[in-house]
Structure 1
Amino acid sequence: MMSSLFKFLTGRKNQITPDSKKRESAVDKANFAELNKLSPIKNVGISQLSVQENIATPSFVCREAVLNKDQKVVGHSFTLTRSVNELVRKSSELVRNLYDDVLLGSILRMDIKRLLGSRLAFIPILPSSLKRAPIEKLPTEGVILVLTSLEELTQNSSEYLTRLITLKNAGFRFGLQGNLKLPDLQPFLELAEFVLIDIGANDLPTINSLIDEVNKQVMNKNWVAINVKLLDEFHVCTKLPFSYFQGAFITNREAWEAPALDAGRIKILNLLNLLRQDAENTELVQIFKQDPALSFKILRYINSAGFGLAGKINSIDQALLILGRQSLYRWLTLLLFTSGNSNPLDLALMENALVRARFTELCAADSLSKNEQDELFITGIFSLLDVLLRLPMDKVLEQMNLPPLVVEALLHNNGKYAPYLGLAIACEAFDQDQIVNLSCRVGLSLTQVTICQTEALIWAEMANQ
């Protein structure tokens, strides 16, 4: 995995061009304007017209990681912002179909095949949207269409069964989410590969009852636990038949007891601080030589195929010269997530941190200097160090020598970098108001934010392979 980071850490990255930032869809704008007219998102005054115009841009899609039992990221769930979801859920079928059209259109513009790679995309839709044009344009590989209004399915059983069979024969895959105790649901359960249960909306006896109800009718389904907010909930779900897990538990901050940092991570933090202090290479080399495992990792990394070196590098001195200080700093930062007393969730946490880092860096591509973009990258990576180390952020930062603006953003949510980090976190939380306000503060449209997020997701997945 670490060897594949070379082209990312040394600046060989796909850049967002001005042309790519300007791509917007007039048709989708009209659709979303109609959706917003039928079910207004928010009343705003004349002074907030720029924010209102940003809301009317239908390009922003939220994603949430889906993990397997090994705690590896195997897919993402895609929706529009949470507040739009809440409004749409209470609206007419017309509005909900428009919502699906906007969601599917936005996903198609994200180049979903490139974004997914070998992973899964869970896309919640109404059964009635199965008959609408955007469905036919979706790739079949990796896409799971999650049907969310099961009452509608059973009320129009014959029509939807015919449509689902046609789509399944074309290669589409399905999931079911909702009232799993409905009568006449069995034919749809037989066609579905995935069954989703909202952990946040059901207690444990109800969850077990739903699983038993489905297992009486069909077997061998892939169970997906969604809305898993706490690590304790995740651990309970792993003891049930669930194979996949979605929710905010990956980055959740809990009341940690203060653990002692292991020696491996202490050495890495020491190296990071020395790099910030412009220490001599000889001092860095001595620390590497005191840790055989760390020496082995950097030599394996520098001799990996990604560097394309003519001959083998056998000394730490040479490795540091070839790698350069900026790339070494980034490599050591990522090594924090994979060294010491790590647990399986740390890799998923690292990918989330990579998305934040790359996203903030891309969002600042036209507004901040190269040095400031580099510091934003570090801000994004370090924004989850407290979760990784299970220490409060102020305790983490006491052990690090970081630029003042990075500390200000991480510790006080203030300063030049704070809006960029806040935007990354708002995207994860599906917080529409914050997404709109912060995208305006950093001078980006929602379309541009979506492009940055898509590129960051692709970059982080490739880096984590």
Structure 2
Amino acid sequence: MDIFLARQAIYNTENEVVAYELLFRNSNSNSFAGDVNEEKATIKLISNCATIGLSNLTNGKRAFINFPKGVLLKDIICLLEREEIVVEILENVNPTYEILTYLMELKNRKYIIALDDVVIDYRYKEFGALIDIYKIDFVATTKSERVIILNEIRKINPQGQLLAEKVETKEDYKEALKNNYLYFQGYYFSKPTMISAKDIAVRNVSCFNIMVELLSPDFDVDKIEKTIKSDVAISYKLIKFLNSASFSFVQKIRSIKQSIALLGKKDLAKWLSLVVISEMQNSNAEYTNNTIIRARFCELIAKEAKSSKESLVFMVGLFSNLDVFMNRSMKDIIVEIPLEEEAKDALLGCENDLSGILNLVKAYEKMDMKKVEEYSDKLNIDKKGLINIYIESIEWLNCLTKNF
């Protein structure tokens, strides 16, 4: 799978590149697709940056990244180093109490905040002194309007810095220099440059490494936090999931470490297993969903059989198609996963309690009723109740997918 983004240089008064604005692209066409949701575009952009490497994209300079309201209030910014980015507030984000409170938090955390597409309206005034850099649109404003805007900014926020954006002529540049703008961006200097990369190998390896770390007997919270934060999309889903109505935490989730502590090792490993499998590229949505349903089905059957191995058999069910997802033999994969030997044996087809449950689930999926009866008898459970357990597994998946 190819991933795309664009970057446009930002210059200082010495015509040196001091930063880049990173722009979402979903094809090799160097333009923003208007039918793409802004929130999804930002998440995808950040995910692509993580895949390629932010410092590689910007040559070690700061990255201006656009943030719509929805992503701001999810505090995705906490996943990004403050020394590497400028938080660019989109033009359609209104200065509500909720937004202003959050921006104050960002300021306290030493993030740099820029306001995008400043034009002659009330909006920029209500952000007060929270803005570090004002990006003034030279296409959407007249020269006289820009004079008014500058005078207002100097009244409300004398420390605010000015960035002239959409500078397209030499006259625009001269005007900006004369009025003490510090930064410049636009076609007069350079157009956005397309960047593309391959994502399949990186994504699958990343997901696999996360699962290996989660299953390690030496569960190091700091190491897990770092591993999760290396994939912004997964980190976002985790925070969004824990902030959902499914949990009754008094405080909102504000960090990956806090998420890990609140969810706990067992449930965290299970939830991340679902997300990781979902992120694998060599599968379609239906196949992925069926794998997740299989894992839950295995777990619930273990519970019905009064087994103490519910969590382990969940992993067995979830990993039962890992050879397909990873495009490798199960025998090779098993060597690299620190699962209990009993689980490894089950995945390799050896007979034990776990493989008995997995075999029952596979037989039920194929509606091989002869084998369903055989395995049900071995587990001492009523095969007539399997339909209800299967429906419960589907409903569980439906409930989960509402939250990520």
State TM-score, norm by structure 1: 0.40
Q: TM-score, length-normalised on structure 2?
A: 0.46
Higher relative contact order (CA 8 A, sep 6+): 1
Higher helix share: 1
